[in-house]
Amino acid sequence: MGHTRLGYNLPRSRHWRDVVELVAAGADVSQVAQATINAAEKAFAFVKNDTGYNHAVWIIIQLGLAGKSADPLGYLQERGICIPANTSLPGIAVALSEAFDNHSRSNGGFSDLGELSQRALIDAVIQRIEPKLQQKSLFNMQAEHAKQALCGISSQKELGKLAREFYARLTNESLKYFLSQTLASNVGEGQRFATTNQMAQFEEAIGTHCKEASVIVERFSEEWFSKHRYEQEGRIPDDKIRDFASYALKKMNDELREGAKTNAT
């Protein structure tokens, strides 16, 4: 989708090599999970200042604010998110991707992390919107369907669920970014994973860990969104959203590390 490489990927530090060594040595899941969290912490150090990540969080907040507007689609269009009135669920995904790409081009391109943020955002939005639509409207949405879907995100509870979905997916994608090549090279007789099924089970365990940890972000997002929407009268400034993005990531990281310590005991 026209992404620009910025000359760096997510960092592969000594922490990452610790993970590689543990997997190759046949360490148990709790050991590998702990080492993976250490590696992810290094990656997260890059996240809070990443343009793509911050734009993904900005879009989440705009989707929440749009639902309280008299004209949700118009509100989003004014902010560069052009969702047609008569569209489809895939059409919403395309509109979000285009908004991301336009922002990317005007800001010199996104990093790999920006791409992961984009994918996590779109997947999270679809995950939250799809169950709220009648099956017949998924591919032939009318204006009222699109408005209904957007208005559904406007409550603090729904915004919290969307944020949780996003952070769970972003974290899982970040960990997979580190683990993918190493896991694939450690499948077979005498390797860490005897079969691809065992590797899939390990990846599923990491995904579950991310999903469970993200509950902390859901609660924080609910309270933050309700408070700031009220105090700012429905117009939350960009700097406040960046502060939210930074602190939400810290809470996610702290919760991951706490979970890893629990698993290791």
187 three-state secondary structure: strand
* Amino acid at the residue 53: Y
Give me the helices (H) in 110-155, please. 112-129, 143-151
pLDDT at 225: 95
Q: What is the DSSP letter of 235?
A: -
pLDDT at 79: 94
pLDDT at 228: 94
Cα dist. 64→35, 103, 133 in Å?
A: 36, 19, 17
- The first and second tokens of residue 130, run together, are 């799809």
pLDDT at 134: 59
pLDDT at 30: 65
Give me the helices (H) in 48-155, please. 51-66, 72-78, 89-106, 112-129, 143-151
Cβ count within 10 A of residue 161: 18
Residue of 75, 43, 25, 74 whose CA lies nearest to 177? 43
pLDDT at 216: 92
pLDDT at 124: 96
- The first and second tokens of residue 64, run together, are 């929440």
Question: pLDDT in tens for each of the 265 residues of the chain?
Answer: 333 333 334 444 455 556 656 666 666 666 666 666 676 676 677 666 788 899 999 999 999 999 888 888 899 999 999 988 777 788 889 999 999 989 988 887 777 888 889 999 999 999 998 877 655 455 566 666 766 777 778 888 999 999 999 999 998 888 777 666 566 666 667 666 666 776 677 677 778 878 888 999 999 999 999 999 999 888 899 999 999 999 998 898 888 777 666 554 4
